[in-house]
Amino acid sequence: MAAALTLTRDTVRAEWVDYNGHLRDAYYLLLFSYAVDALMDHLGLDEAERALSQRSIYTLEVHLNYLRELKLGTELRVDVQLLAHDSKRLQVYLTLHRGEELEAAAASEQMLLHVDTEQGCAAPFSAALLARVEALAVAHADLPKPAYAGRQIGLPVQRGVMAA
Amino acid sequence: MAAALTLTRDTVRAEWVDYNGHLRDAYYLLLFSYAVDALMDHLGLDEAERALSQRSIYTLEVHLNYLRELKLGTELRVDVQLLAHDSKRLQVYLTLHRGEELEAAAASEQMLLHVDTEQGCAAPFSAALLARVEALAVAHADLPKPAYAGRQIGLPVQRGVMAA
């Protein structure tokens, strides 16, 4: 049965919480950022390969929904679902969970770009990397549509204003 | 003349950069997070008032576009434009800039929620807080529409796939 890929496990650390002992918003993204590092490893683009090939994966855009507060010491995991890809980009959906819970404490849709770090420009995936991306796409093809993907930010339309 | 409000000034710190000396994606959001703290101060909801009133502002959703790499030691500022509000929510647009540059190195649209921290639920702004929000809305009413607001993430439609 198809399942999202668990990338990382961590714990809410003391340096990540505010005075109330809750995880600060930016550190949710740090947890997702470490998970993208792990995704690169999974795809064969680990630190050694990044240095050797002068290729890496950069973040173009992040959307992040906060669903639950998380307290100091809480055990966490990050799962990923590959939503789409082309010759140089990955559209991924990451979810942060407490322990083994199915329910997400946060969700993040991200657009990632494969880059030539020497030239500072986008670069197509190598054949080996693309093969691993395509294997992940096949593994994730039947996963359900994520709850927090494709979102736009906005307040509900104020009818009074619209009618004016 | 209308202008966005500068909230914070900072510098890319050693603990925020990767092995290449570039600011890691999550720390762009930490800079925006500190700016939202400063926005709370600007609106009169500073740390003392948050503790006294048991009210605070939480992040519901973040969209973040990465436009430039930023190196260790670079001087930065964060500006904010209030896009919309209702009785308990603020829709804001934050931009991160190098020094005094007009061009943004990153842009973040965010939905923020005023909460009762004791009850753990949404709460309408106090009259005093709402007056300050409305003053900011008036000051920002004539600012141009931001370049990276209202975004959805997605890869361009692949025509071959659509025709299949």
Could you read off the pLDDT of A78-93 as tens digits, one per residue? 999 999 999 999 999 9
Give the pLDDT confidence score for residue A163 in this predicted structure.
35
Measured distance CA(B51)–CA(A43) in Å, rounded:
47
Percent of chain B with pLDDT strictly greater than 90: 89
Q: Is the pLDDT assigned to residue B163 strictly greater than 90?
A: no
Are A150 and B154 inside 8 Å of each other by CB? yes
| Mean pLDDT (chain B, rounded) | 93
Q: Tokens for A137, please give them.
A: 């796409």
Q: What is the mean pLDDT of residues A10-29?
A: 94
Contact A33 B20 (CB under 8 A): no
Amino acid found at B59: T
pLDDT above 90 (res A122):
yes
Mean pLDDT over residues B120-132, rounded? Answer: 96
pLDDT of residue A3: 83
Pair of tokens at residue B85: 């509000």
The beta-carbon contacts of B131-137 under 8 Å, at least 24 apart in sequence, are B132/B42, B132/B43, B132/B44, B133/B43, B133/B82, B133/B85, B133/B90, B134/B85, B136/B5, B136/B42, B136/B43, B136/B82, B137/B82, B137/B85
Cα(A91)–Cα(A69) distance, integer angstroms: 26
Instruction: Tell me how close the Cα of A126 comes to any Cα of chain B, in angstroms.
Output: 19
Beta carbons of A132 and A49 less than 8 angstroms apart: no
pLDDT digits (tens, 9 = 90+) for B64-78: 999 999 999 999 999
CB contact under 8 A, B155 and A25: no
Which of B62, B109, B154 has the CB atom closest to A25's CB atom? B62
CB B56 within 8 A of CB B122: no
In this prediction, residue A1 carries a pLDDT of 57
Tell if the CB–CB gap between A85 and B155 is shorter than 8 Å.
Answer: yes
User: What ipTM was predicted for this assembly?
Assistant: 0.92
Average pLDDT over residues B101-130: 96
CA distance B112 to B42: 15
Q: Which of B25, B117, B121 to mutate to test the interface with A (most CBs of A within 10 A)?
A: B25
Give the angle B120-B123-B125 at the CA atoms, nearest 5°: 140
**Cβ within 8 Å of A, B 38-97:** 47, 58-66, 69, 84-86, 89, 91
How many Cα atoms within 13 Å fall on the side-chain side of residue A160? 1
Does pLDDT of A146 surpass 50?
A: yes
Q: In this complex, is the C-beta atom of B111 within 8 Å of any C-beta atom belonging to chain A?
A: yes
At A161 the pLDDT is: 43
Segments in B12-88 forming alpha helices (H): 25-42, 47-53
B159 vs B23, higher pLDDT: B23
CA distance B42 to B49: 12
Query: pTM score, two decimals?
Result: 0.93
> What is the tens place of the pLDDT at every residue in A51-78?
999 999 999 999 999 999 999 999 999 9
pLDDT of residue B20: 79
Q: Which residues of A touch B27 (CB under 8 A)?
A: 26, 30
- Between the alpha carbon of residue B65 and those of residues A102, A146, B34, B93, B119, the distances in Å are 29, 21, 17, 11, 34
Q: Which chain A residues touch B60 with a CB distance below 8 Å?
A: 65-66
pLDDT at B99: 95
In chain B, residues with a C-beta closer than 8 Å to the C-beta of A20 are: 117
